[in-house]
Structure formats: C-alpha cells, structure tokens
Homo-oligomer: A and B are copies of this chain.
Amino acid sequence: MYLSNPEQRQDAQRWFEDLRDRICAAFETIEDDHAGPGAERPPGRFVRTPWNRDGGGGGVMALMRDGRVFEKVGVNVSTVMGEFSDTFRHQVPGAADDPSFWASGISLVAHPRSPRVPTVHMNTRHIATTRSWFGGGADLTPMQDDAAAVAMFHKAFQECCDRHDPEFHHRFRDWCDRYFYLPHRGEPRGAGGIFYDTLERDFARDLSFSRDVGQTFLDIYPAIVRRRMDEPWSDEERQHQLVRRGRYVEFNLIHDRGTLFGLRTGGNIEAILMSLPPLAAWPGPE
C-alpha cells in the first residue's frame, strides 16, 4: 500500500497521454500504408475533442471514423478528481472515510472494418483515494477463428507479465477470462488477454508494469492488424462480424462495470459509449 504524490500522479498522466499520442500515430501510419480493401477511401485520422467534467478535471476523446482499416477507434485519456458519492465511496478501496479521489487513465477500443482483423480493447489507469493503485489490461476479440492472432497476443502479454512477476500472467489472464464473459449467452466476449486491478506494490514498479502493458499493446496489436488487413472478405464474414459486434454491445451495456459506473454517475456519455461498434446486427436466432 502507498499513496502517490502529485509529481508521481503527473508522471502517470503524462505516460497515458504519451501512449495515446504514440498509439494514434501508429494507427494513422497503418491507415497510410494500407493498400487492400478500402484503399479508395482517404486514410483515417483521429479527431480530438476535449471535455470538462462537472466536479473537476476532464479529458480528451480521440476518435477515428471511417478509415481504410479502422471503421471506428476511440482513445480516451481522462484525468478527474473530486469526491465520490456517498453510495459509491463504500465500493472503492480507501474511500470509505474520505471520499476524495484522483484518477487518470487511458482506454481504447478499435473496431476494424475487416472481419479478419480482431477488435481490441486496452485500458490502464492510476487511482488515488487514501490509497493508490494501478489497474488495466488488454483483450482481443477476433470476429472469426484466428488461432495465430490469439497466440501472438497471449505470447506478447505473457512475456510482458513475466518481465515483472512470474505470477502475473497466470493471475491476470484468468481474471480477464472471468471478467469478459457473457453469462446470459454462456460464452466469453473474445479470446481474452490480461486484466488486473488494485495493483499496489509501490508506485514505480506499478507504473513500470502499466507502461509495459501499454507498450506491449502498441507492439503487438498493429502487427496483428497488418497481418491480414489486405485480405478481401465475403458478405457472410461481414454479417458474422456484425453479429459478433452485437455481443460486444451486450457486454458493454449489460456487464461492463466501467460503462455502468460512468452511465450512472453522469460521466461524459459520448466518451463512455465511444467503445460501441460503428455498426452491429441482431438478426435473430441463427
């Protein structure tokens, strides 16, 4: 247990912003390089929209729409502070007696146009109450079987975790599998990845791990995208992708704690729901 100081918090916030800038640049380079289906479109670009939060802080939404490779990507960085509500403070570590909090983080969801390129989610955050900790993770959602992409993703995060603690990968991969699960469908949301929370060893080590998670994402996901982005796809593959995206919507609106927390506490609605796919289908029973 530790409590981060203002300088440390600024270091965390700067890292989230720096990671955002490098991810956006990497995704725009993919857009520039693309020569496959969709290359007749202009390369996608991120548009950044700042917003302020009532009560303290705010963030920047970075949104790419209608790119060549990416149909929609949202990258949010927000840094917010203030006091938790009376009902919520009892659910947050270290906030029961003092509702003050400070939180900064990055979250990303990418929805590629091609059904052969997996959807991905990545998030890391630093939160401080009377205690402070890091949390986050990354998980891959292929829209069709793609054992090679899944293996690449898990290997990258296994190596990332192993650089920090031999227990991490096992624990955080299991945690991810339990979290990204649709009980009403009896099926996982995707192929998993890692998920961690309340990591509170010491600030430097926890930031170092969280930086490595972000860097690992930046190393592996673009490689997975480039692998199959030039391949054409069929109408049937597209339709199946839209149905799988419907499952993504179901998870985010019914089960995702971050989404529900944001919706119920009056967060920025467009930032919260930026993760939803550009188009999704519910054709009925298969």
Contacts and interface: CB of A to CB of B under 8 A. Distances in A.
A281 B279 CA distance: 4
Nearest to A184: B263
Interface string A256-286: 0000100110000110011011111111110
Given A246-B276, A249-B249, A283 B185 contact: no
A250 interface: yes
A242 interface: yes
A253 interface: yes
Most buried by B among A246, A270, A285: A285
A63 interface: yes
Contacts of A263: 184, 254
Given A250-B253, A254-B253, A72 B269 contact: no
A241 B270 CA distance: 18
Nearest to A111: B282
B184 A283 contact: no
Contacts of A274: 284
Given A242-B279, A279-B281, 15 more contacts: A65-B284, A72-B284, A74-B284, A184-B264, A184-B269, A250-B253, A270-B284, A273-B282, A274-B284, A277-B282, A278-B282, A278-B283, A278-B284, A280-B281, A280-B282
Interface of A: 49, 61, 63, 65, 72, 74, 184-185, 242, 246, 249-250, 253-254, 260, 263-264, 269-270, 273-274, 276-285
